[in-house]
Structure 1
């Protein structure tokens, strides 16, 4: 079986890094096309031995890209075309059908109740998505929550398959040596109470609430891993609250890192004492699963990865209100306990092992294209 993955871009992001991780575990030959931005994740895929082509798409209305993409798909003689993220789903589904590929799979990574990939869900966006979805053989939802949203949109239930995101859980185990080394490297005192957050610095992620909550806790530090358009505003807010020296924005973190000398996300999670996800809307909540794998207590406003499982699957994860007061009060209670105490890795983490994710995705491929045989492990 030969699979082509088409994705909108390959800068550091959740869907992009999930694709790289999947490529390391899928037992088929895979190529990747990025419509735009062949960023650091593209370099990581190449470092892993994969092949990435950059289409050079000029924008959402660059219709010349459709012809180029169709030619690329046709030349590759792919058994399956698998699309990721909105623009790639729209163009990739069309290109696959024009190129004669009959098995088209799309993963819906970021569909919220009122937004998709952080953008408002307008009628035109929804209509175009549904029109091209009819060209798919299967649509993969990363959580049961997303699957229900797709059904509510009108996507036929038989075409929807839940394949949750996954992680390499062993990489996130708490490491006391990494904790000390990372805190030294980024200037965090060893005895500080450190609140952590991970994600794109976008308005919908509500890192501003987290900054306010930590600023109201004397002596607490905030470590945020991510990049995005809200970075400058968060810096300004921390300064206005008199907490500029207690709020550290590290920037984006590629995971897995391409160089062993980089601390990577596991090291940064080891440096934290509690993890908070203040986002009021998530399609999955991968960062929460990674934090649980690191043994961190987690506060979250919403997280389908946890909410879709039985309550005892993640006893260290606690739902909180998405307000400054609610998060601040929950943090105050946690700080009153042992600030360096690590929790046992919960069952939820094993449920989201990347090997299981790859197996479930292969099942979707083989159901959709039953006559194709496995080929050497992806990347090829």
Structure 2
């Protein structure tokens, strides 16, 4: 049987929500490249990424899940899978993986793939790991046919949990490098929209405003920098009010911009001068790779996407200490070099979206062949 015959013709992607997050943006970019008909169902929150998917011509359904214990979501999802006659179901993020794997098997679909985007050593998607959620994850994992790890670090964690090696497939995240190319016009427009002085030095970070992203550390580091250095924090989440209050207490609120959900990440990166990722536990570091594609210097506490590469493939990225003082010192050293745009490094080409889509299609074919042989 040739490779085309083994590939599924219809795939359903099940994701927990479609707000502006790394996994959600990754799915949107991936569907532009996958050579197979794909629909999407979101369990909750059909946010900005849902609108972007629909603009691309992707059908998006909202399951209307009321909470983690909405058991009625399973039969609703089963009906949707049966009605769509999907040959493969691909789940993304913890809740969607648990409910999606169960629903797919009840609907008679054995070709089930899950991508593990956010498994850390101590947290999964911002929630603390405990014996209960770990046991639930492992029980549902056995209902699938394959689990995709977005980095070698995630693959190692899955193996340590007891997921068999033969079920784990390494498919690093991908980006569309041309979308992030530095744009002077976008720099001016975004700075004007956010109220940033045209000639200011601007630091920035992108991510969910949750404790694990450690944006409070970035605020404390920024408070030690000269008063003409501005900071942009792009993202939404439960920590927003606390972070704003911290900026007020530190006396830097006038030069900190909380940009909220940011659908125009390329424009935002053009507006920045240095990108900072203060999180001490990352599963990939997609935002850091996007920043490298925009020619920005990148300071990161943890970033498997860079750390797992051969030495020298991301010369613009530098690992820094996790404490506010260490980060402030690294920022001072970076700013002393002057505002500049860097050449796009080899690392960005390694993480091209075409490569990610090709690797994922190989997983789809392997899974389809495996379940047919059972």
Q: Match for residue 332 of structure 2?
A: 332
**Distance in 1 of aligned mates of 2:94 and 2:236:** 21
1:149 to 123, 136, 157: 157
Q: Match for residue 186 of structure 1?
A: 194
**Distance in 1 of aligned mates of 2:315 and 2:247:** 32
- Structure-2-length-normalised TM-score: 0.95
Q: Match for residue 363 of structure 1?
A: 362
Q: Match for residue 235 of structure 1?
A: 244
Per-residue displacement from partner, 1:265-298 (whole Å, max 9, x unpaired)? 1111111111110001011100000000011111
State the Cα distance separating 1:180 from its structure 2 match.
2.1
State the Cα distance separating 1:371 from its structure 2 match.
9.8
- Report whether the alignment pairs 1:119 with 2:118: no
Q: Match for residue 234 of structure 2?
A: 225
Per-residue displacement from partner, 1:19-73 (whole Å, max 9, x unpaired)? 1111111100011111111122111111110101111112111112111111211
- Corresponding pairs, count: 362
Residue correspondence of structure 1 range 1-380 to structure 2 within 5 A = 1-218=9-226, 219-254=228-263, 264-339=264-339, 341-370=340-369
State the Cα distance separating 1:179 from its structure 2 match.
1.6
- Relative to structure 1, the CA distance from residue 371 to residue 94 in structure 2 (aligned partners, 3 Å threshold; closer, same or farther) is closer
Per-residue displacement from partner, 1:319-350 (whole Å, max 9, x unpaired)? 000111111111111111121x1111111101
- Structure-1-length-normalised TM-score: 0.93
* 2:172 alignment partner, SS class: coil
State the Cα distance separating 1:369 from its structure 2 match.
1.1
**Distance in 2 of aligned mates of 1:35 and 1:357:** 25
Per-residue displacement from partner, 1:192-234 (whole Å, max 9, x unpaired)? 1111111111111111111111111112110111111111111
**Distance in 1 of aligned mates of 2:86 and 2:267:** 38
Q: Which 4+ stretches in 1 moved above 3 angstroms?
A: none
Per-residue displacement from partner, 1:306-327 (whole Å, max 9, x unpaired)? 1111121101111000111111
**Distance in 2 of aligned mates of 1:191 and 1:350:** 31
* 1:275 alignment partner, SS class: strand
State the Cα distance separating 1:370 from its structure 2 match.
3.7
**Distance in 2 of aligned mates of 1:367 and 1:308:** 25
* 1:15 alignment partner, SS class: helix
State the Cα distance separating 1:191 from its structure 2 match.
2.1
* 1:309 alignment partner, SS class: coil
**Distance in 2 of aligned mates of 1:284 and 1:346:** 17
**Distance in 1 of aligned mates of 2:231 and 2:212:** 19
Q: Match for residue 261 of structure 1?
A: none
**Distance in 2 of aligned mates of 1:316 and 1:272:** 14
Q: Match for residue 5 of structure 2?
A: none
* 1:27 alignment partner, SS class: coil
Q: Match for residue 375 of structure 1?
A: none
State the Cα distance separating 1:186 from its structure 2 match.
1.8
* 1:42 alignment partner, SS class: helix
State the Cα distance separating 1:79 from its structure 2 match.
0.9
